[in-house]
Amino acid sequence: MKQSELFVEVLNILEEGAIEDAHEEARILFEDLLGIERSRIGILDDEVPQDAARRVIDAANERLSGRPIQYITGRTYFMGFSFVCREGTLIPRQDTEHLCEQALTAVEQMKNPSVLDLCAGSGCVGLSIAKMIEHARVTLFEKYDGPLSLMKENADRLGLSDKVHIVKGDVFDMDTGELDGPFDVVVSNPPYVKTGDIDGLMDEVRNYEPRAALDGGADGYDFFRQIVKISKYLLAPGGRLLFEVGAGQSDKVVRLLEKGGFGEISSFKDYGGWARVVSGRLDT
């Protein structure tokens, strides 16, 4: 089968299955499963081996079940880097790049910055910072074995295994002595969905992504409260704490930071106009 014929067949499967951005997802399948750069899709019309074509068609049909395309292909892109994705770990999202960008702004002017990524998941934020700021010392902290394994794999793929420090632990039962602090920056994209709202999420999120990475407690603020509380023991004087927050949560997180002894508090909007990142400086 020719590339052009295969692309049309895959696109038709996705469109008939009401996949929202069928054309983009067809390109992702070609790029990730066939190794064809998206800039070359539609330019060359080489023959695709039958087994490879079947693999892409099967993946398109699997997508109709609701399984996220990142889990099907086993990868996604974050801050321009390729990250491995697997069930059991939250998928890195473009919205979280805003958190990473603000963290980079905070550390890039520091001489030898130390950064702690709490609830690190796949490691996309902390590893991106380590990759982009060569002189940064980055520690990634995560509770669950699945994400920890994936994080280590991503660190190895990015050539960061010897540069970053990966620690298993629970922010609700933390021995701060096991971390090589204090830190200049603590960054976190914690679970922040209300427990009662999880069943109302999109099917591909609710049915496939780990509930533990979503569930922020009854009001959605359990992790924010705890991380603000422990950050005074993690941050160096004048250090900065940055959160990703959900839609409509920024005002309350600002108040939590104020009560926790933080000043110079700012919020930053995403491309949709929602306050997506909240940042504060620990008062000395």
The pLDDT of residue 92 is: 97
Both 192 and 259 in one domain: the answer is yes
Both 142 and 249 in one domain: the answer is yes
> Does 174 score more than 90 pLDDT?
no
In a domain, 151, yes or no: yes
Distance CA 18, CA 25 (A): 12
Both 16 and 147 in one domain: the answer is no
Q: How many Cβ atoms are within 10 Å of 46's Cβ, its own excluded? A: 10
Both 198 and 58 in one domain: the answer is no
The pLDDT of residue 178 is: 74
| CATH code for the domain of 255 | 3.40.50.150
List own/partner pairs for 56-61 with CB under 8 A and 24 or more apart: 56/6, 56/10, 56/29, 56/30, 57/6, 57/9, 57/10, 57/13, 59/29, 59/33, 60/10, 60/13, 60/14, 60/26, 60/29, 61/13
In a domain, 215, yes or no: yes
What tens digit of pLDDT does each residue of 65-78 get?
999 999 999 999 99
The pLDDT of residue 263 is: 95
In a domain, 135, yes or no: yes
In a domain, 76, yes or no: no
Both 192 and 100 in one domain: the answer is yes
Percent of the chain with pLDDT over 90: 85
In a domain, 230, yes or no: yes
Q: Supply the range of the domain harboring residue 257.
A: 90-282
What tens digit of pLDDT does each residue of 10-60 get?
999 999 999 999 999 999 999 999 988 877 776 667 888 999 999 999 999
Distance CA 86, CA 147 (A): 9
In a domain, 72, yes or no: no
Both 60 and 156 in one domain: the answer is no
The domain total for the chain is 2
Both 113 and 205 in one domain: the answer is yes
Both 57 and 100 in one domain: the answer is no
The pLDDT of residue 175 is: 76
In a domain, 112, yes or no: yes
Cβ pair 47, 2 in contact under 8 A: yes
What tens digit of pLDDT does each residue of 75-94 get?
999 999 999 999 999 999 99
> Does 143 score more than 70 pLDDT?
yes
Both 60 and 170 in one domain: the answer is no
pLDDT band at 1 (very low <50, low <70, confident <90, very high): confident
> Does 108 score more than 70 pLDDT?
yes
Both 38 and 166 in one domain: the answer is no
What tens digit of pLDDT does each residue of 227-281 get?
999 999 999 999 999 999 999 999 999 999 999 999 999 999 998 899 999 999 9
The pLDDT of residue 113 is: 95
The pLDDT of residue 167 is: 95
Both 49 and 97 in one domain: the answer is no
Both 60 and 182 in one domain: the answer is no
Percent of the chain with pLDDT over 70: 98
In a domain, 143, yes or no: yes
Please say which residue of 65, 80, 112 terminates a domain: 65
> Does 177 score more than 70 pLDDT?
no
pLDDT, mean over the chain: 94
Q: 267 in helix, strand or coil?
A: strand
pLDDT band at 125 (very low <50, low <70, confident <90, very high): very high
The pLDDT of residue 45 is: 77
Cβ pair 146, 88 in contact under 8 A: yes
Please say which residue of 65, 80, 109 terminates a domain: 65
